[in-house]
Structure 1
Amino acid sequence: MESFRIGVDIGGTFTDIVFLGDKGTVLIKKVASTPQDYSNSVIQGISEGIKELNINSSDITEINHGFTVATNAILEGKGERIALITTKGFRDVLEIARLRTPRLYDLYYQKPTPIVERRLRFEIDERVNFKGEILKDLDYNSLKLITKNIQSEKIQSVAICLLHSYANSKHELEISNFLKSHIPNINLSVSSEILPEMREYERTSTTVINAYIRPVVKDYLENLNNQLANLGFKVPLTIMQSNGGLSPVNLAIEKPIFCIESGPAAGVVGAFHLGNHIGTENFMTFDMGGTTAKASIIENGEMLLAPEYEVGGGMSAGHRLLKGSGYMLRVPSIDIAEVSSGGGSIAWIDKAEALQIGPQSSGADPGPACYDKGGNNPTVTDANVILGYLNPKNLLGGNFLINSSKAQKIISENISAPLGISEIESAWGIHILVNSNMGRALRAVSSERGRDPRKFTLVAFGGGGPIHATGIAESLGITKILIPPSPGVFSAFGLLFANVEYHLVKTYFNPLSNLKLKEANGVLDKLISQGKELLISEGFNSLQQEIIIQLDMKYIGQTSELTIRMPDQSFTIESINKIQEIYMNEHDKTFGYRVDEPMQLVNIRIIARGISSESRVPDKINSSNKINQSKNDNKRKVYFGQNIGWINTNIVDRLFLNKKPHKGPIIIEEYDSTTIVPPNWNASLDSMNNIILEKTN
């Protein structure tokens, strides 16, 4: 009997579920997301897949999950009402923040409202210095009063963040133990456990967000776990982290802060492992879903991680570059730029009679007008139907009927009539404008970081990625595109390709030139031991472990640092010389210059990665999902812009490309996505069934 692994990725519009069998069988399920309770769509899709494959729950060996519950709680302000306990004199750290503004001359800029009400930010008399020395003992009388106030306010989630607790966590742990003994079932987020790093604002903000989303994530994951158990599943649920590694569900419940970007991370992880499998090192990823589009970089075979980012600020592009717009999270995350442009993004006319796209989205319900579920706003998907890019009758292999005349009517009334232009001009305008918006995300991770996008292969996935890939690639000068198998659910595949990872960090603030080698190696060895013990607890022996060491560094006098990979497994005089050279090269790549000045070591990081004994990426992916297509549907008229106009275009499936490369224009229809191959592009299939698009002269 064939055993299966399941990957589940929840998006704003659809929930994607992939069944991957150990004998190569693949089944894809794409069901409408259920925002009122996302677990409903997960259980629906898994149940349908089990029935369709005619297997039992005992045949499932793994369930990996990426979700948006934490993100939605922040964006919608639906987290738990929380309290903060902090050192006397520091209750307003969240208000003061870093005095950054995302746009220098924005006269209407408003700081994000702190998640904790000021009256629920409690100060306690205690003090520890940066060396970890206790200057003032914890005042238990203050703690008793704070505990009574928390009880009277019926607070069930508390963040504890004291000054310099990264150097000595004694007082934080005393507060934690006291609260646990006096308030049963209280949720506690302790900064020395969440983020043992210097910088009180980043540590406080990160700990507070963890406390804010923890009850919501806990309820969701425990509910989903219980439903899976009721269906007879014995395997534990595993969660994708923002850093691209998998973690046990109990860690995701305790520290949901590490899983906020789990959905977007999964697609990049999929591209990373796919690149390793086919021997390509430089990718730019483009993931277009129903609500947003995301971009990231894989350079020299490595995913780029950002040590911090912001959420909930409403920024439309490059949110890791524009600081001050949202809530600061100091957790490692795959470096992703995101724009509010997706298939469901709404097109509208502003007061200056100019066409705009988003950030509002039609979402899963009611969805685009062509879904015929009550949507009355023109969307990107409606425009793509009018242009002939999408099947005018149905999607999802014939299982999802659409109403193309409704799309025409809505765009005509809302865009064409006000602007005095035709439906085709309106639809083409929507298409090229959303391409321009999404191109900003790709520029944010490439040219704005000193990287030439023309040197990268674009990997396009998500339901809308393959439709818009060539238009965006041309605007960036990219000449090669890779469309992976089942691109519409590729993030769910990424969940199945990922490895278990633990990311550990410890502040070690010392000048590199005067580094005490024995002391520094002691800190490093302790982190490595912790990482190895965690991997052993997950069943990975010493031969299945990979330890990656990273250093946060800066020039002395700078206020921010860069993260580099340590070339050796310990600090030696020789390795310090290598570290200096690596840092100067990274500084030059990021900021455009390098100087031979004294450097400061700030944090030591390790990534403890569990490596499976067998490859988690299959040699070839063949979906069992079929498309119900009649002979009369093998051609349709497709619009390729004002210079080319309409062309009667062949409609084919992916395997049609097996015989030989084909010149555009062609449309490649699949169960979960559609790939547009315009004139002046060629399409072929590689050994893994990836579609390769190449620009011709």
Structure 2
Amino acid sequence: MHPSPLPGSEPGAESRPGWRVGADIGGTFTDVIALGPDGEVVPAKVLSTPPDYGTGVVTATTGVLEAAGAEPSGVAAMLHGTTVATNAILEMNGARTAVVTTRGFRDVLELGRLRRPVLYDLSWVKPVPLARRRHRYELAQRITSQGHLDPAVDEDEVRALAERLAGEGIEAVAVCLLNSHLRPDEERRVAEVLRTRLPAVYVTASVDISPQPQEFERTSTATVNAYVGPAVHGYLTRLESGLRTEGIDAPLLVMQSSGGLLDAGSVTRRPVQIIESGPAAGVTAVQKLAGLLELPAVVAFDMGGTTAKASLIEHGEPFVSADYEVGGGMNVARGLGSGAGYPVRTPSIDIAEVGSGGGSVISVDAAGALHVGPDSAGSRPGPACYGGGGELPTLTDANVTLGYLSPETLAGGHVAIHPELAAKALAPVAERLGRDVPDTARGAYEVAVSSMTTAVKAVTSERGRDPREATMVAFGGAGPLYAAALARELGISTVVVPVHPGLFSSLGLLVADTERNEVAPYRTELAGIPALAEEFATLTARVTAELGPAALVERMLDLRYRGQRFELRVRLDDGELTEQLLAAARARFHAEHERTYGRAGGDDLVELVNLRVRGVLPGGVSLQDVLRLPGDPAGAPGSRVCRFAATVSTPVLRRADLGAEPVAGPLIVEDMDATTLVPPGASARRDRFHNIVIHWSAA
């Protein structure tokens, strides 16, 4: 299988006038938000539809268009955040994958690196390679460390291997030859022979995904790409077909892990780029909001139905990691948590994740300790209070019991709530703890807050940043319920809850830019400035060929100190490449290294590892265009009894009821798509962009 661009997915087509629809799939809900040509904003939130998540996307999209009175033919762009790639890995249901490599390197995936996520857990075992050993094949060829062929590939051997692969029922192949980054055409030749002989098989060449040294990381990245490739291609093909059946023939663009959109055709060739597709869309929206509010440091906090995630944005830019790991229970980009999953070398926003969401199951271990997650009830059967057959207690059940959530409906009235089922599900846990049900529910809330501090600290204090110097922006279906308590635990004084918080990732899709990334490893022939400038020009040409001449281009360098294993990425100023520009980049590297690790070295220790170019084509939609006050949810303001440290009657307001003057908590603000909790000791107001601004008093 050599995926070709899907119909209507050509780059730049998204700029035509009409409706833009952003659709984001979560573990519990599928969120869709549509932006009309005259600025109309129409949201929708429906339960996700596993295993065919595309059905929920099509249903919700047609629903918002009908609600807006818009014709399907009027959609100009479909913008999508999806978890199909990461789900294939987490659920271990990807393609039957083979690896083709150089003789003697069959076990690279097995050997990996000597890293453990838990140092003293003797029961921990390494993850099983995505390509089993019997499906890893060797070729009698070799590319030396100097780039010489000793010997070259024998195409007859590759053709014979193709017949063997066909007999094994292989669905995807990753070609990863030793030192192929020095002779990429040699690896591409092997891949092309396999594609010709195996037209129904998904074939990946590692140099087309991660053309960098270090064969383990490159092999792992290509293997992950091959493993998820058929699933992603099949999903996007079915989604396109479903949309066209409904009369929507707009180009389909997918959010990348790096925070930019990519046309669906390119995604099918490099699906490894969308592992963190959904979470990246939310961070992109927060990035735009931080710029609008002129906030120098922002913690983006996203809590949905399955997980809670955190990311740091400084001076308008999120941290983008060059490599991270997928699988092993969650995706990580930090060294202390590495070793549990499969390394991936593609740009990704650094997002820390913990298994605490609205659907996370509450349990008690053998020692009598209360736990929240990582297991989740998902959308089916869902939390017990949904009445969908779920019997296990979840955080959502706890929130209903505590009075934080409406006892009648959620998601704009689309999900009915049954408080008696929530209490029934929590009763066995309460009995084991020897407490009453409300006290157990409050304990689960506090345990969840405690676990979520781990994610925030991973992107702040572990990077040498003080979380107390940042503002928290909370979104996701459950984020505004927990943000104020989480902020107080971390010493953060201000929390911002934007409009459409439960659909903020979908909103991020509407305002995201189209993005392309290119990378080249540093080689000895690039030692001089003219050679470096020529390589940057080549990478820039590739980016602008895809995005067009209007693309904004940024150059970057991956630098490290001699002897280090990891590098830091720094920006290279615009203009003609000179020694002064390189010196400025080295100075940025020293400063970032000092801030992150507490020390810095001299210029003579700095090594250049990779050259990078990022091209951005602005999407043409400003976040300010969509920050309109949403319509009021059903129901008038009132009050209900809530459990905090004490049980108190708590006012329930709508977002429009808040004004510029702060209102003291406790209080609850209900939107169609999320509920914001303002605890005692905090206050809330609404700013000019209709954000709810929660502030903790000094006391």
TM-score by length of 1: 0.95
Helix, strand or coil at the partner of 2:329: coil
Which residue identity lines up with residue 520 of structure 1 in the other structure?
L
Which residue identity lines up with residue 69 of structure 1 in the other structure?
V
Could you say if the C-alpha distance between residues 139 and 501 of structure 1 is closer, same or farther in structure 2, counting changes exceeding 3 Å?
same
Distance 1:516 1:637 in 2: 71
Superimposed CA distance per residue, residues 544-600 of structure 1 (whole angstroms, 9 cap, x where no aligned partner): 321111111111122221111113444312122212211111111111101214211
Distance 1:482 1:120 in 2: 51
1:662 aligns with 663
2:474 aligns with 460
Equivalent positions of 1:275-294 (< 5 A) are 275-294=290-309
**In structure 1, which of residues 517, 534, 543 is the aligned counterpart of residue 529 of structure 2?**
517
Which residue identity lines up with residue 562 of structure 1 in the other structure?
L
Counterpart check, 1:640 vs 2:662: no
**In structure 1, which of residues 587, 597, 600 is the aligned counterpart of residue 593 of structure 2?**
587
Counterpart check, 1:14 vs 2:43: no
8 A contact 1:395–1:401 mirrored in 2: yes
Distance 2:371 2:342 in 1: 27
- Give the C-alpha shift of residue 24 in structure 1: 2.5
Which residue identity lines up with residue 599 of structure 2 in the other structure?
Y
Distance 2:333 2:494 in 1: 24
Superimposed CA distance per residue, residues 341-375 of structure 1 (whole angstroms, 9 cap, x where no aligned partner): 00010111100011111111111011111111111
2:509 aligns with 495
Could you say if the C-alpha distance between residues 447 and 624 of structure 1 is closer, same or farther in structure 2, counting changes exceeding 3 Å?
closer
- Give the C-alpha shift of residue 439 in structure 1: 1.2
- Give the C-alpha shift of residue 624 in structure 1: 5.4
8 A contact 1:213–1:256 mirrored in 2: yes
Superimposed CA distance per residue, residues 7-42 of structure 1 (whole angstroms, 9 cap, x where no aligned partner): 000001000000112323211111110112111111
1:416 aligns with 430
- Give the C-alpha shift of residue 271 in structure 1: 0.3
1:528 aligns with 540
8 A contact 1:509–1:600 mirrored in 2: no
Could you say if the C-alpha distance between residues 534 and 584 of structure 1 is closer, same or farther in structure 2, counting changes exceeding 3 Å?
same
Superimposed CA distance per residue, residues 371-429 of structure 1 (whole angstroms, 9 cap, x where no aligned partner): 111111111111111111101111123332100111112112x2111111111210110
8 A contact 2:191–2:203 mirrored in 1: yes
Helix, strand or coil at the partner of 1:310: strand
Distance 2:332 2:131 in 1: 27
Distance 1:261 1:316 in 2: 8
- Give the C-alpha shift of residue 47 in structure 1: 1.4
1:473 aligns with 487
> 5+ residue gaps in structure 2?
1-16
Distance 2:268 2:389 in 1: 37
Aligned pairs, number = 681
Could you say if the C-alpha distance between residues 136 and 498 of structure 1 is closer, same or farther in structure 2, counting changes exceeding 3 Å?
same
Distance 1:320 1:41 in 2: 37
8 A contact 1:620–1:688 mirrored in 2: no
Which residue identity lines up with residue 636 of structure 1 in the other structure?
R
* Mean Cα deviation higher: 328-337 or 169-178: 169-178
Which residue identity lines up with residue 231 of structure 1 in the other structure?
E
8 A contact 1:549–1:569 mirrored in 2: no
1:651 aligns with 652
Superimposed CA distance per residue, residues 231-271 of structure 1 (whole angstroms, 9 cap, x where no aligned partner): 11121111000000000000111110000100010100000
Superimposed CA distance per residue, residues 144-170 of structure 1 (whole angstroms, 9 cap, x where no aligned partner): 331121111122311111111112112
1:616 aligns with 622
2:248 aligns with 233
Which residue identity lines up with residue 493 of structure 1 in the other structure?
L
Which residue identity lines up with residue 668 of structure 1 in the other structure?
V
Helix, strand or coil at the partner of 1:482: strand
Distance 1:325 1:133 in 2: 35
Helix, strand or coil at the partner of 1:123: strand
Could you say if the C-alpha distance between residues 624 and 25 of structure 1 is closer, same or farther in structure 2, counting changes exceeding 3 Å?
farther
8 A contact 1:470–1:676 mirrored in 2: yes
Equivalent positions of 1:5-154 (< 5 A) are 5-154=20-169
Equivalent positions of 1:429-468 (< 5 A) are 429-468=443-482
Which residue identity lines up with residue 649 of structure 1 in the other structure?
T
Distance 2:688 2:215 in 1: 51
- Give the C-alpha shift of residue 317 in structure 1: 7.4
Helix, strand or coil at the partner of 1:134: coil
Distance 2:59 2:334 in 1: 34
1:578 aligns with 584
8 A contact 1:510–1:602 mirrored in 2: no
2:283 aligns with 268
- Give the C-alpha shift of residue 509 in structure 1: 4.0
Counterpart check, 1:298 vs 2:304: no
Distance 1:40 1:481 in 2: 35
- Give the C-alpha shift of residue 622 in structure 1: 3.0
Distance 1:429 1:448 in 2: 27
**In structure 2, which of residues 597, 607, 627 is the aligned counterpart of residue 600 of structure 1?**
607
Could you say if the C-alpha distance between residues 397 and 140 of structure 1 is closer, same or farther in structure 2, counting changes exceeding 3 Å?
closer
Equivalent positions of 1:556-567 (< 5 A) are 556-567=562-573
Superimposed CA distance per residue, residues 617-660 of structure 1 (whole angstroms, 9 cap, x where no aligned partner): 23453365542215xx611111222xxx1221111111111353
Helix, strand or coil at the partner of 1:48: helix
**In structure 2, which of residues 170, 173, 185 is the aligned counterpart of residue 170 of structure 1?**
185
Counterpart check, 1:679 vs 2:694: no
Distance 2:438 2:115 in 1: 44
Helix, strand or coil at the partner of 2:624: coil
Which residue identity lines up with residue 519 of structure 1 in the other structure?
A
8 A contact 1:87–1:126 mirrored in 2: yes
Distance 1:245 1:316 in 2: 19
* Mean Cα deviation higher: 592-601 or 87-96: 592-601
8 A contact 1:502–1:609 mirrored in 2: yes
Distance 2:164 2:129 in 1: 20
Superimposed CA distance per residue, residues 444-493 of structure 1 (whole angstroms, 9 cap, x where no aligned partner): 10011110001100000001000000110000000001101010010000
- Give the C-alpha shift of residue 333 in structure 1: 0.1
Helix, strand or coil at the partner of 2:216: helix
Distance 2:576 2:97 in 1: 42
Q: Percent identity?
A: 40
Could you say if the C-alpha distance between residues 97 and 83 of structure 1 is closer, same or farther in structure 2, counting changes exceeding 3 Å?
same
RMSD (CA atoms): 1.7
Distance 2:485 2:333 in 1: 20
Distance 2:562 2:355 in 1: 38
> 5+ residue gaps in structure 1?
537-541
8 A contact 1:396–1:627 mirrored in 2: no
Which residue identity lines up with residue 610 of structure 1 in the other structure?
L
Could you say if the C-alpha distance between residues 129 and 310 of structure 1 is closer, same or farther in structure 2, counting changes exceeding 3 Å?
same
2:498 aligns with 484
Distance 1:411 1:452 in 2: 37
1:539 aligns with none
Distance 1:620 1:250 in 2: 28
Equivalent positions of 1:349-364 (< 5 A) are 349-364=364-379
8 A contact 1:318–1:444 mirrored in 2: no
